[in-house]
Chain A
Amino acid sequence: MAKYITEINKNGNVAVDDNILVKDIPATAGSKMLESFVPLFSATAVEKLTAAGYTLSGKTATGEFGLDLYGETSVNDICAAASLVKEGAVKAALNVDLNGAPRRAAAIEGVTFIKPTYGTVSRYGIIACACSGEQIGVTAKDAATAAEVLSVIAGYDEKDGTSLKDVKDIDYNCDAPTKGMKIALVKELYNENLDAAVNAYKAAGAEVEEISLPEVFAAQTAWQILYSAETTNNLSRFDGVKYGHRTEKYKNIDELYVGSRTEAFGFLTKATILYGSDVLSKGRYEECYDKALKIRRKVVEKLTELFGRYDALLMPAYSKAEFEGYPIAEAFEKVFDESRYTAAASITGMPAVVAKGVQLVGDYFCDGKLLALAKALEKEEA
């Protein structure tokens, strides 16, 4: 499967996912809907990278709108960016993490990825789905390289209303000593992917303690509600009127809408839109969306409390790399199942780092500490 949807420069050293805008370069977000869409401006993160002397290699494949975790519903190679990094074809890649897809890809390919603290990297120029949680993150061969690129793209952006002003104070130095750090292993999510990491941390002099955190399942359900609702709303702009795919068969505006969207969206996107419409509808808002917002606050409280005692949470980033074929009608549920590993960081906006196949989640603005933990792991397991 093709790794690039659009190639820009064979000698470029950074790949950019196709749901991040680069001026004048087509941006499909992996969807037939945007086959012909050429953006008028670049994402702030892209501007910052090129201003710092990095060159773009091309637009890497993603699942449709970044919703897909498996690639089962997508013709695209959803590990495209991670595998380019693994091959050494590029130094780093920018990806949108909205439901854990790049975290999962990095874990499968054995490279490093950081989803930074929400609000520290501008979201201006993302083909948005889940504005309240999605973030641009960096895939790189190791923590030090990820830290280098992240420090370039991070910072306040007046074009993003949720961008945080005092970001410059965050330290992306990943050389902090990890000896004596306390890591909590989340019992509910344990799988054998974690064993090597636990041994490596113990060898490096960090403490690993098992904790129970059933809130991860509440986070999983609540995040599905929030991201689906926001995705429904954000994708409603793709209506065939202004740009993107337009059906040839229409006699009035309703047929234009329905025909264009039916033809252009894939199954998972449609399922997400239906689910998102339901949770926002009259009478359902209070019991679904509003409740999900309350759960978000509860999860933040619980994690904040844990971070008073622990430096990071250790959990897997995925269940298994390969999936046997399953009926496409199950795609939405499959994605939901798999998101148990990634939802806590998505819904809280807390930073998460994937390295050596495992995931570390930390407190707000502790991106540097997570990168240091990732670096220790890379060193121990090398």
Chain B
Amino acid sequence: MKNRYLSLTVALLSLSLAGCPPKTETGGAAGKAATTGDIVVGEYGSLTGNQATFGTSTHNGITLAMEEVNGSGGVLGRQIKVITEDDQSKSEEAASAVTKLIAQNSVVAVLGEVASSSSMAAAPVCQSNKIPMISPSSTNPDVTKKGDFIFRMCFIDTYQGPVMAEYLVNTLKVKRVALLTDNRSDYSRGLGEAFAGRFKQLGGSIVITQSFSQGDSDFRSQLTAIKGANVEVLYVPGYYNDIGQIASQARDLGMTMPLAGGDGWESPKLIEIGGKALEGCFYSNHYYAEDPTPEVRNFVEKYKKRFDNQMPDALAALGYDAAKVLADSIKRAGKTDGPALRDAIAQTKGFQGVTGAITLGPDRNPVGKKIVIVGIQNGRLALRSTIDPNAQAAPVAAHATTAPSDTTGTTATH
């Protein structure tokens, strides 16, 4: 018996050395791009699972954008058809869904995902098939490092976190902060680190760091520990569904300091779940729905009309922008094959989107995107501050520490 297994092993080794086929060229031109009929675009997203609200918002944004494009005659004289696949908020499903879209539906480009982990799983598939992918709202810096076919529409965590740190130190004169991160979420941990790094640099101190897991419902023990630390602000880079509960439990424990966070807070459900407990809290975001700029007003109006009077959140806005940028790039490229489309997307410059002017930098991230700090006042969102590097004509790279603190300007309250 033993000898047999040994022989198997030996044979296996010798064969594996000798018997492998010559390396074949894989990738490239997954299907001959048709030149007539609909232009097929793929979308993958979390339509079910933990992050379903984000996926649904993004999906609505994309739907609205593509309906508009098609309503005005489509691009290159053709209509755009979006095929959507659900990935259940699971990264391994995302890879399969995107493979399906590319191989079976021969999509010319892929839109998605919100969750960075899913984008990270799907990106190599797009890259190896030479199909451009635009992530509307994955903020993890690593996503676009997967290759030259991978783009994004939002700012990244190492930009968003420091901006909040600067706002706290320079505008609110805060010195002592507690950090509560979601241990299961790459987004939360990344954003927390980026924030903490800049905050300490500016002379603040992170008095206590605690963590929870996405989907927990009891945060009282972490909050009890934080309560004892006597801090001015509690920074919670997490998702809105946990934030509401964290805030209300903090108030139950008699904690009165404001909570601050990032774009994961953004959702019409935030205030519904958190209620009064969120009064005076604030977060950094991609856009503010009551912004008086024509792009935003126009978008909000159309969105409400199309989707049952719902307020669009930032993810809907980013989905909308991603789809619009893609349509625009197809128009500019004049054709739909992967490399041409990639080059067209990469050359996106000064595109007036809902979330601000979009110019893609050499690392395929938007350069110097607008960022807003939104507060919660009297049970509704109110703009606290806008940081728009473009408005100051200062070419700011979307990097962490380079975002100048003096751009924290105009404080407007509604």
A joins B in a complex? no
Which residues of B are in contact with A by a Cβ distance under 8 Å? none
> Interface on A for B, CB 8 Å cutoff?
none
